[in-house]
Amino acid sequence: MLPDTTGFDLFKKHIPVSRETEDKLKCYADLLVKWNKAINLVSKNTLPDLWIRHFLDSAQLIKYLPETEHKKTIVDFGSGAGFPALILAILGAGDIHAMESDLKKSMFLREVSRETDAGLTVHNNRIEKIKPFAVDVFTARAFAPLTKILDFSQAFLEVSKSEKDPEFLLLKGRNVDEELTEAEKKWTMKVSRYNSLSDDDAAILNLKLL
């Protein structure tokens, strides 16, 4: 089942891109449809709405990335089919690192990165086994509860030496309020919340730990 072209038009309305980037995103979409027949990357029921449900959902984060004087280092936890890691890499958002423990999904991420020249770095291992490095932004989508994401970030936060503290840009669903309530029992955070362009029941969280 192929993606709906009207979804692509809506994507471009919200996220204007060059013809070259457009071609790379279409290449990604084609590879996703092809690989999805063999491995479970996304639900096949979401493929007709691929451009909104997955591509726009991921790409909207680019509007909220912090300004840095250097190329941003972005770590995406549980990248899966590449959302948002591959989308952000194709859009040139920074030095993107995809954390994905599943071998087949990691192979897919590397294949798309190679075909689109996205420059994505794929770490095929469990997050807690990856040697931590300095990070500017953490992202995650459909990965884990907020408390777990913050726990995973700790080793990276300890070695981050940027002038500004790392931020979190997280795509969250309808349970966002419950996750925030639970996380605030352990963490002190500055929270900004934005409406999602792709889902009325979803939200974008921008967090800074205090």
The per-residue pLDDT for range 123-168, each reduced to its tens digit, is 999 999 999 999 999 999 989 999 999 999 999 998 876 556 899 9
Strand-pairing partners, residue 140, are: 77, 170
Q: Please state, in angstroms and as integers, the Cα–Cα distance from residue 93 to each residue in 23, 105, 168, 178, 185, following that order.
A: 17, 22, 15, 30, 32
Q: How many Å from the N-terminal Cα to the C-terminal Cα in the chain? A: 46
**Phi–psi pair at 18, nearest 5 degrees:** -70, 165
pLDDT at 25: 97
Strand-pairing partners, residue 122, are: 98
> CA 156, 157, 161: angle at the middle one, nearest 5?
100
Annotated binding site for S-adenosyl-L-methionine: 78, 83, 127-128, 141
Structural domain count of the chain: 1
Mean pLDDT across the stretch 27-33? 96
The CATH number of the domain where 99 resides is what?
A: 3.40.50.150
Q: Are 57 and 199 in contact (CB under 8 A)?
A: yes
Mean pLDDT across the stretch 18-26? 96
Torsion of CA 50, 56, 57, 63, to 10 degrees: 170
> How large a percentage of the chain has pLDDT more than 70?
95
**Phi–psi pair at 200, nearest 5 degrees:** -65, -25
Annotated binding site: 78, 83, 127-128, 141
> Mean pLDDT score of the chain, rounded to an integer?
93
- pLDDT of 31-57, one tens digit each? 999 999 999 999 999 999 999 999 999
pLDDT at 68: 85
Q: Are 89 and 120 in contact (CB under 8 A)?
A: yes
Per DSSP, the residues of 40-108 read -SS-GGGGGGHIIIIIIHHHGGGGGPPP-SSPPEEEEES-TTTTTHHHHHHTT-SEEEEE---HHHHHH
> 113 in the Ramachandran plot: left (φ > 0), alpha (ψ -120 to 50) or beta?
alpha
- pLDDT of 45-99, one tens digit each? 999 999 999 999 999 999 999 988 889 999 999 999 999 999 999 999 999 999 9
Residue 158: which domain range?
A: 5-209
> 117 in the Ramachandran plot: left (φ > 0), alpha (ψ -120 to 50) or beta?
left
Q: Which of 191, 97, 120 is nearest to 150 (CA)?
A: 191
